[in-house]
Amino acid sequence: MAGFVADLRHGLRMLVRTPLLSVVAVLTVGLGVGGVTFGFSVMYATLYRGPPVRAAERLMLVMEARPEAGVERMRVPIHDYLDLRDAQRSFETLEGYYGGTVNLAGDDGPPERYQGAFVTAGLLEMLGVPAELGRTFAEDEGGAGAPPLVVLSHRVWVNRFGGERAALGRTVRVNGETAEIIGVMPDGFGFPMRQDLWVNIRTDPATLERRGGTGLQVVGRVREGVGARAAIEELAALGRRIEAAHPEENEGITVTAQPFTEASTPTQARMMVGLIMAMVLGVLLVACANVANVLMARAVVREREVAVRTALGAGRWRVVRQLLTEAAVLGVVGGVVGLGVAWTAITLLEASIQDIQRPYWIVFTLDAPVLLFTSVVTLAAAVGAGTWPALRASGAGVDGVLRDESRGSSSLRVSRLTSALVVGELAVSCGLMIAGGLTVRTLMELNRLDLGFDAERVMTARLGLFESDYPDAAARSRFYHELLDRLAAEPGVDAAAVTSVLPGTGQGGARVEVDGEVYDSPADRPRTGASWVSAGFFETMGMEPVEGRAFLRSESEREGQPVVVVSRSFVDRYMRGSGALGRQVRLGPDSPWLRVVGVVPDVHPGVGPFGSGGEPARDAIYLPLGQSDLAFASVAVRTSGPPAATTGALRRAVSAADPNLPLYWVRTLREAVDETASFHRIFGGLFAIVALAALFLSAVGLYGVIDFSVANRLRELGVRKAMGAHGGDVLRLVMSRVVRQLALGVLLGVAIGVGLAVPLAATLYGVDVWDPLVYGGIAAVLTATGLAAAMVPALRAVRVDPVVALRV
């Protein structure tokens, strides 16, 4: 123990004795460890933590699929759920839920919209998380005849009801129905995503067709002693039995299950998290190579000291232990710096994704598993970077050191290892920079999207009309048009519209028929974008028709004429490029024909999620709002002034039309469009930062190695200059080595970049994974940076005074 303490003190003294070298090493380790800690925090929270419920590792999501149609995951209809629940034996129980909007009103506060979950009576009890206040649903409080009940989240209880116990037993309006508050869940609970409240499902299956009603996300906990594979096999067998009993409704439908934690994270997001972890590990490798080079340089400088200690009786293991302790001191201090780097990165990431929907347990923190991982990584990095320099220094004898010094050969033996480390650094950095370069190109493409409409000076909001207050399509249509009339009377409103989906934020789809065209089967009918819009929509969005006209007010209402407006691309793809006006389109053989009255410019439908492909198709049709049964809609208001100034007009008009109806997602159209690319921007930014960190570390590493090489070759360089070598000759001598390392590093780095680019394709938009501009540009940037970093010590070599050098 005393020896370790002495080594520790000696290591601290070495840090102080060479402050510049120590600061560089500590910051390098901090950057590498910080990056990996950040990556592990993201990976652990996303892939492994799981919901904080009882036996979460045995929780599974049960789902249906239609493999022949390429549908891998579907909700389970209520009738199928009941059959599975009653017949299965592998699960303790099966419960279900579906998420949705909840309009809350009827108390003293204003109407508000919350994200809720409609659950079977036993779901919350199955999860094993008791209510903080009151209770959850009883077994007989689900299904037909049950009273409407609601359980609040802790957040809603505090924010809306002041955290008062008197909230229990109060009645509120939930989506137009009067419901009693029976409980409050603990702080932080939000199953399954970030739900604000839970409402009991009271649907009577007898009133539904076999596959009717809202499908359920079915959750079950596998019994102890039953394996996941056995449970999945039982579900598959039950699915076949249901298909045989109901062939018309369930033909081709299978039943399967997946661990709940895994099922809660999309495959593409899981892959992106893995890529981030791989990239920050690459940065750590570059950092370790840098530190190894620093320690190697220090070991060479200290060869005489170590040789003398060996000659005085110190064993080799004693010397190795001391040198590894010094490396560990560097690692520990660097690890502390790394925790600061990770905390900063995690804080910034949490702030950037605050409004993104994700499971409530996915919170990025420096918790115990992350800190343990950081400790192990720090120790491994220190030992890995310090082992070879320690062995190299401890193996030197007095005679060998003196002989090497007289011949100047010490640095030559070390240079092979340092050269290999530098090439490795450059290769890894080049690969990471290619990945980062592709994402930067994606961000550039996103910033210059041709939307096809005017997204400026438009304020938008979302609203939902529920059956209890608006029992049919006619009632909803009347509300929408009354709202438009009220908005038109508001000062500062230039135009207003209601639409099923805002342009640039995605679009619905429909299979259509065009008159005069023949289709062999329903699957051959073209699939196109479809939106239901009110009169005034095209004016609000700045979409001037290129042919014909927009909808009239009478056509937008419930009893309006059957008309349709199509996009320019729709005409090009499905109407042979011309003659669209007067032709007819319909949504299916049972739907009426719709006469084309206008053609509008193409609109970008939105970037879409990861893995949605490249440039989306822009063909689309626009149908009059009155022809839909639209329960959820977006309202948009154009103004000549700041769009935020119309927020009050929106709220006044909605409140006058229905005082119990809340607005939500109130934002400008530009903000709504930008949010569709939020994941691309977040992951793209992360990859770009990692690439920059790798570039910085490789430049520092190359500078350090060349500087060390020049310092150890001063005598050789002095002799060359004394024998007539010019400054250009010395510069070529030094830089030729740099050029060889850069060339080999870039070549290997391109191969690494290709390996990263293929899985990265899901995050790209408007950029080819083989984009020559990115590969060539990164090679040029890395080469220029490397040459610039090496030029400083190389010029020092040119300025060597032969007389001074020969005295060294």
∠ CA 555-559-560, nearest 5°, is 15
pLDDT in the model for residue 291 = 82
Nearest to 479 by CA among 657, 660, 659: 657
pLDDT in the model for residue 687 = 86
Nearest to 84 by CA among 282, 259, 243: 243
Question: If DSSP codes are grouped into helix, strand and coil, which group holds residue 599?
Answer: strand
Distance from C-alpha of 442 to C-alpha of 425, rounded to nearest angstrom:
26
pLDDT-wise least confident of 9-13, 592-596, 626-630, 695-699: 9-13
Residue 113 CA: distances (Å) to CA of 355, 472, 477, 671: 15, 21, 21, 20
Q: Which pLDDT band holds residue 480 (cuts at 50, 70, 90)?
A: very high
Nearest to 123 by CA among 171, 32, 51, 74: 51
Tell me the residue type at 273: V
> Of residues 28 and 320, which shows the higher confidence score?
28
- The mean pLDDT value for 393-405 works out to 49
pLDDT in the model for residue 806 = 56
pLDDT greater than 60 at residue 1: no
The percent of residues in the chain predicted with pLDDT above 70, rounded, is 87
pLDDT in the model for residue 670 = 92
Task: State the CB neighbour count (10 A cutoff) for residue 542.
Answer: 18
Enumerate the β-bridge partners of residue 94: 220
Number of alpha carbons in the 13 Å side-chain half-sphere of residue 743: 6
The tens digit of pLDDT for each residue in 188-204 reads: 999 999 999 999 999 88
Handedness of CA 141, 144, 145, 149 (dihedral sign): positive
Burial code (b: 16+ CB inside 10 Å, e: under 16) for 131-162 equals bebbebbeeebbbeebebbbbbbbbbbeebbe
pLDDT in the model for residue 361 = 94
pLDDT greater than 70 at residue 611: no
pLDDT in the model for residue 776 = 92
Strands (E) across 355-398 are located at none
pLDDT in the model for residue 408 = 46
Distance from C-alpha of 595 to C-alpha of 580, rounded to nearest angstrom:
9
Q: Which pLDDT band holds residue 230 (cuts at 50, 70, 90)?
A: very high
pLDDT in the model for residue 406 = 45
CB 599 within 8 A of CB 567: yes
Residues in CB range of 69: below 8 A, 6 or more apart: 252
CB 7 within 8 A of CB 322: yes
pLDDT in the model for residue 635 = 97
Residues in CB range of 668: below 8 A, 6 or more apart: 455, 458, 459, 460, 643, 644
Distance from C-alpha of 263 to C-alpha of 248, rounded to nearest angstrom:
29
pLDDT in the model for residue 721 = 66
Q: Which pLDDT band holds residue 445 (cuts at 50, 70, 90)?
A: confident
pLDDT greater than 80 at residue 148: yes
The percent of residues in the chain predicted with pLDDT above 90, rounded, is 52
φ/ψ (deg, to 5) at 658: -160, 105
pLDDT-wise least confident of 174-178, 227-231, 460-464, 680-684: 680-684
Enumerate the β-bridge partners of residue 181: 150
Enumerate the β-bridge partners of residue 199: 118, 150
pLDDT greater than 90 at residue 607: no
Burial code (b: 16+ CB inside 10 Å, e: under 16) for 481-495 equals bebbebbeebeebeb
- The mean pLDDT value for 222-237 works out to 95
Q: Tell me, what DSSP letter sits at residue 166? A: G
Distance from C-alpha of 477 to C-alpha of 181, rounded to nearest angstrom:
32
Number of alpha carbons in the 13 Å side-chain half-sphere of residue 199: 27
Residue 337 CA: distances (Å) to CA of 34, 41, 268, 349, 365: 7, 16, 32, 19, 16
Q: Which pLDDT band holds residue 102 (cuts at 50, 70, 90)?
A: very high
CB 405 within 8 A of CB 314: no
> Of residues 181 and 521, which shows the higher confidence score?
181
> Of residues 328 and 672, which shows the higher confidence score?
672
> Of residues 233 and 676, which shows the higher confidence score?
233
Q: What is the mean pLDDT of the chain?
A: 86
Distance from C-alpha of 563 to C-alpha of 593, rounded to nearest angstrom:
8
Tokens representing residue 55 in the block: 């036996």
CA 783 from chain centre, in angstroms, equals 31
pLDDT greater than 90 at residue 74: yes
The tens digit of pLDDT for each residue in 706-760 reads: 777 776 666 666 667 667 677 777 778 778 888 988 999 999 999 999 988 888 8
CB 764 within 8 A of CB 438: yes
Residue 98 CA: distances (Å) to CA of 18, 115, 540, 696: 62, 11, 34, 48
For tokens 């970008």, name the residue: 604
Distance from C-alpha of 767 to C-alpha of 441, rounded to nearest angstrom:
7
pLDDT in the model for residue 302 = 58
pLDDT-wise least confident of 212-221, 406-415, 734-743: 406-415
Burial code (b: 16+ CB inside 10 Å, e: under 16) for 757-766 equals bebbbbbbbe
The tens digit of pLDDT for each residue in 666-703 reads: 999 999 998 888 888 888 888 888 888 988 888 888 88
Distance from C-alpha of 539 to C-alpha of 542, rounded to nearest angstrom:
5
Question: If DSSP codes are grouped into helix, strand and coil, which group holds residue 8?
Answer: helix
Distance from C-alpha of 551 to C-alpha of 543, rounded to nearest angstrom:
12
Residues in CB range of 305: below 8 A, 6 or more apart: none
The tens digit of pLDDT for each residue in 546-600 reads: 999 999 999 999 888 899 999 999 999 999 888 899 999 998 888 899 999 999 9
pLDDT greater than 80 at residue 808: no
pLDDT in the model for residue 398 = 45
